[in-house]
Amino acid sequence: MRLLVIEDTLDVADAIASSLSRQGMAVDQAASLAEAFALLEEVTYDVVVLDMNLPDGSGSDILAWLRRQRRVTGVLVVTARFAVEERVKALDGGADDYLVKPFDLRELQARVRALARRPAVPERRGILEYGDLAFDPAERALTVAGAPVALTPRELSLLEVLLLHRGRVVPKERIFSRMFAADDEEVGLNAVETYVARLRRKLAGSSVAIKTLRGLGYQLLAGPQG
């Protein structure tokens, strides 16, 4: 399960992310609206833990965007605003649950698990097509020239990032942040190279190739590669 914690107070964000990571969840962090939108544009999250007070705007902008996109991502609002009116406003605005600071991390974990268990209609994002590749983000499924190709979850994350930026160079650091949890300290940046090599082997024979630009990153290109 992949989560996004949107919280500008670093120690609070780190505590939440660490507690959820210990539950076996992959957790990304954002400290502003700009960071959050950059992540949400590229990654499909199961649950978002959202602070309403952010340095560049309000968490309500995130709620409105998610609902306009018809995302089925569960949203747990975590905020110091305790008035009933504030809770009603957040829930009416698209939040699924509300937790007032300060809170016990065990309760936060339980609320996140409850949101993740809820039945939902699968999110309908468009099929990503490039060359002879067709990737379904909702089903996490890839076909090459119409034939299914089995990929591991991290290979799928790598492919999705490259497809979303097809034709453009994607820095290794950005790919790493999408593939691994923020506190996955045992994994180094060079792990990206390993997964790129694995994905290349599985795409052998495809009209699409992954190009390495040393010092810059990777680029997904379709058609003959000179």
pLDDT digits (tens, 9 = 90+) for 85-97: 877 888 888 888 8
Higher-confidence position of 54 and 88: 54
Question: What's the pTM value of the predicted model, to 2 decimals?
Answer: 0.55
**pLDDT of 128 over the 80 cut:** yes
**pLDDT of 226 over the 50 cut:** no
CATH of domain 128-222: 1.10.10.10
Residue 6's pLDDT band, with cuts at 50, 70 and 90, is: very high
Asked: is 2-117 a CATH 3.40.50.720 domain? The reply is no
Residue 123's pLDDT band, with cuts at 50, 70 and 90, is: very low
**pLDDT of 167 over the 50 cut:** yes
Residue 121's pLDDT band, with cuts at 50, 70 and 90, is: very low
pLDDT reported for residue 32:
94
Domain edges within the chain: 2-117, 128-222
Which of 72-86, 106-120, 152-166: highest mean pLDDT?
152-166
Average pLDDT over residues 115-139: 72
Same fold yes or no, 2-117 and 128-222: no
Residue 207's pLDDT band, with cuts at 50, 70 and 90, is: very high
CB 53 within 8 A of CB 32: no
For a pLDDT cut of 70, what percent of the chain falls above it?
90
**pLDDT of 82 over the 70 cut:** no
Omega before residue 102 within 30° of 0, cis? yes
